[in-house]
Amino acid sequence: MSGVVATLTSAGEQAMALAKSLTLDADDWHHLARAFHRAEALAEQALVVAIAQVRPELRPALVSQLDDERRHVGVFAEWVDGAPLPPVQASDKQRPEVVWLTLLLANEVAGYCQFRLLEGVCGASERGRAVAAVASDEVAHVARLVTWLQEPRYARARAQLVRVMDSFIAGLEARMSQFLPREAHLLVRGGMADLIGQTLGALLALRPPGS
């Protein structure tokens, strides 16, 4: 786990450094609150579907993670103003277990980096502290998912794992545009996309414990 924590700590520091070049107006904050709430609501729904499709021994830990996701949704719900948010529903598509674990890892790492960026923008405020707590939860989730994906049972599925991850990384700039759509934020979007992709690559390259 120490390798995971070190990798995430470095990524978090880089995300917070990017935050220093980010200037947000009232419309940006309104958009960000809704985008983060929607992303966490989708993460919650996707996790519900994943829990039903993975082997039973993984489910208790993922149910605990689901509790965290629901708490995160509540954090960002308090930030949202204006029109009520429409309900979200993740796809209930059947996926192999290795695909689910890879997708969950990718989304948790992306979320962690985005939360650290947001923490950097919020600073030492109540919102900043709330986002820091959310990011802390993600560290435990990522460590567990990395450990699972290092199990020998997934060795033959490595090519499938890499394809899923490559597809996710290819869509990172579009993902970041959902949070920071203005042209003025182009460099931060690109920097975050690169950072998330590099962090995922570093995590997947970690050697399993005892190897």
HEC string of 34-53? Answer: HHHHHHHHHHHHHHHHHHHH
The span from the CA of 194 to the CA of 152, in Å, is 29
Q: Go through the domains of the chain in sequence order and give each one's CATH number.
A: 2-204 (1.20.1260)
Please state, as a whole number, how many other Cβ atoms lie within 10 Å of the Cβ of residue 5. 13
Per-residue pLDDT tens listing for the chain (211 residues): 678 999 999 999 999 999 999 999 999 999 999 999 999 999 999 999 999 999 999 999 999 999 999 999 999 999 988 766 677 777 788 999 999 999 999 999 999 999 999 999 999 899 999 999 999 999 999 999 999 999 988 888 888 999 999 999 999 999 999 999 999 999 999 999 999 999 999 998 865 544 4
Q: For the chain, state the CA radius of gyration.
A: 17
The span from the CA of 144 to the CA of 17, in Å, is 27
pLDDT for residue 1: 65
The span from the CA of 68 to the CA of 86, in Å, is 21
3-state helix, strand, coil in the chain (%, to 5): 80, 0, 20
pLDDT for residue 204: 87
The span from the CA of 88 to the CA of 39, in Å, is 9
pLDDT for residue 210: 46
The three-point CA angle 170-174-177 to 5° equals: 150
What does the pLDDT look like over 68-109, one tens digit per residue?
Answer: 999 999 999 999 887 666 777 777 889 999 999 999 999 999
Helix (H) or strand (E) holding 63: helix 59-77
End-to-end alpha carbon distance in the chain: 14
The span from the CA of 111 to the CA of 179, in Å, is 11
What does the pLDDT look like over 114-125, one tens digit per residue?
Answer: 999 999 999 989
The length of the chain, given as a count of residues: 211
